[in-house]
Amino acid sequence: MKILTVIGARPQFIKAAALSRVLRRDNEEILVHTGQHYDANMSDIFFDELEIPRPDHNLGISGGSHGSMTGRMIIALEEILLAEKPDALLLFGDTNSTISGAIAASKLHVPIIHVEAGVRLGTLENPEEVNRVVTDRLSALHFCCTESSVEFLKKEGLSSTAHLVGDPMYDAFLFYRSRAPKISDIRLTSLDGGTVCVPEKYNYITCHRQENTQSPDALFEILSAVNSLSVPAVYPVHPRNRAMALSLCEQHGFENIIFCNPVGYLESIALVSSACQVVTDSGGVQREAFFAGVQCVTVLDFVCWPETMVDGRNQLVRPDKADILEKLRAPMTVDESYKPFGDGHSCEKICEIIAQTF
């Protein structure tokens, strides 16, 4: 088959790295990078270290409102679909790149394959939820990471095309963990350009979502909580909130936090896996902490992955210092037999089902 794959953001690069390696054994894959994540530390480094094939098309579309970005992507993807004439379009997750591909392909009657389908929060106030719902409704094949996603699709009348395969991000985590650097070999680049070593004991924090960074109050509470913990924290700062993070650091010091530039995927899974605790607002990082058996709190007002919310392993917190510290004090146990995200072979299952379907 000739399959056109659309990616544009960090989590999609990771999943594509795992799936493309298997998909290309028996299929021709045309890779399109929309440019949604364009910063070198958020995009180029992932292609280099994960050995993702270089995109056949790079659209360079980023910035602007949801409508502006999505509209420009639809126009560009329609042109590529008409030129490439693929047998199917493969999409990951729930970004603007995802919904743009779905709309463009559906208008041209190109079958859509959606990986990480069926995830639901239950509110259309979340922009990613809109992207997920629309993409699932337009897709011909739905590959689900967890049983709960299958159940959501059944409720929406999509059970005949829903397949429980596991999480490609878990596949990637298992494959690349052995290739990740040792913590002692990692050199972080501070925001002022200096080089910093990772402490022997540390916590790991990621924070980039708009609701946690659109005003300094929420980010201040999160950083205050992390700064008061007994070991230092490593905080790779997303380009979106770099200015705010720098301003808060200048005002309040936060001597117990290492503010640094974004890190690559291999460094990130090394840092997550060896951390004492993780504080994040990322759907991907909370799963990686779960995979690694590291206690995590997630600063959001909705549950992304209920499968991780067991035995104190991941807890939802408000952007509130007291709430974060209270949840981090909770005991955690890890049941090694509990594998809600599959067996690490989801990509093989996806490719088998694609071959059987088309």
Let me know the angle formed at the C-alpha of 26 by 25 and 31, rounded to the nearest 5 degrees: 75
Reduced to 3 states, what is the DSSP secondary structure of residue 229? coil
Cα 278 from Cα 295, distance rounded (Å):
6
Residues in contact with 253: Cβ distance below 8 Å, sequence separation at least 6, in sequence order: none
Matching residue, tokens 């878990």: 170
- Strand residue runs (E) in the chain: 2-7, 28-33, 57-58, 88-92, 112-115, 141-144, 162-164, 187-189, 195-197, 203-206, 233-236, 257-260, 277-280, 295-299, 314-317
To the query of whether residue 208 is one of the catalytic residues in this protein, the response is yes
Nearest CA to 101 out of 69, 65, 149 is that of 69
DSSP string, 238-272: PGGGHHHHHHHHHHH--TTEEEE----HHHHHHHH
Nearest CA to 92 out of 175, 3, 211, 25 is that of 3
Residues in contact with 358: Cβ distance below 8 Å, sequence separation at least 6, in sequence order: 1, 87, 88, 111
Given 37, 163, 208, 238, the catalytic residue? 208
Q: Which two tokens stand for residue 349?
A: 């299952």
- Beta-strand relationship, 57-58 and 141-144: unpaired
Matching residue, tokens 């440019």: 35
Cα 152 from Cα 117, distance rounded (Å):
9
Residues involved in catalysis: 208
